Amino acid sequence: PDETTADLVITDVGTVVGHIANMKGSQAGIALSLADEEATTYGPRYYGDVDRAGDFRVTAVPPGRYTIRVMGENTLPEKTVDVVGTKTVHVDFEMPVVQIKVTAHAKDCSLVYLVGGDVRWVSVCTNDDVSWDAVAPGSYRVCPSSGDDGCAAISVAASPATQRFEVRFASD
């Protein structure tokens, strides 16, 4: 019979812990992901849950450089962390104090993205309307699922708490 051998490599692993400030009760249950440089094709490698207080912990993370993202309906920028040996790395995020609900009307839409920097938040259109919660004031693009070519620029102000935009994609 053919024999297969495998080398077992045991490596030190670290932990990533942190806190997300200004979380609201409706944001409980969001998660975060860590992706190393090799994970771009296959997605994040490690996940963790964020509790109602905004605390999180991701254990058994091998040494390396990781991009950490807070998943869910938020506009938090990603951060980079370096895990070294068995050390614990601390990283904190802060939800904006002002969080706006953004709604948009986009004719004949299905999936629509809200794009801010390198981060995209997807939402499903219902009756040509789409919405995102907990958006920080700033400049964004609203893009159809077909790609970035037909995006419409919007500017989210610090008030009112709910803002509605009429969106016309360049492809319309």
| Cα distance between residue 154 and residue 116, in whole Å | 10
Q: In this predicted structure, what is the pLDDT of residue 39? A: 55
How many C-beta neighbours within 10 Å does residue 100 have? Answer: 21
Of 40 and 160, the structure prediction assigns the larger pLDDT to 160
Of 102 and 120, the structure prediction assigns the larger pLDDT to 102
Q: What is the 3-state secondary structure (H, E, C) of 42-68?
A: CCCCEEEEECCCCEEEEEEECCEEEEE
Average pLDDT across the chain, whole number: 81
Q: Quick one: average pLDDT of 82-110?
A: 87
Is the pLDDT at 134 greater than 60, yes or no? yes
- Band of pLDDT at residue 27, cut at 50, 70 and 90: low
Q: Quick one: average pLDDT of 118-127?
A: 80
Which residues contact residue 148 at a Cβ distance below 8 angstroms, ignoring those fewer than 6 apart? 115, 141
- Band of pLDDT at residue 155, cut at 50, 70 and 90: very high
- Band of pLDDT at residue 15, cut at 50, 70 and 90: very high
Q: In this predicted structure, what is the pLDDT of residue 40? A: 54
**pLDDT tens per residue across span 34-85:** 777 665 555 567 888 888 888 999 998 888 888 888 876 566 778 889 999 8
Q: In this predicted structure, what is the pLDDT of residue 84? A: 92
% of the chain residues with pLDDT over 90: 16
C-alpha dist (Å) from residue 61 to 34, 38, 55, 70, 99:
9, 14, 17, 17, 32
Q: In this predicted structure, what is the pLDDT of residue 34? A: 74
Is the pLDDT at 9 greater than 60, yes or no? yes
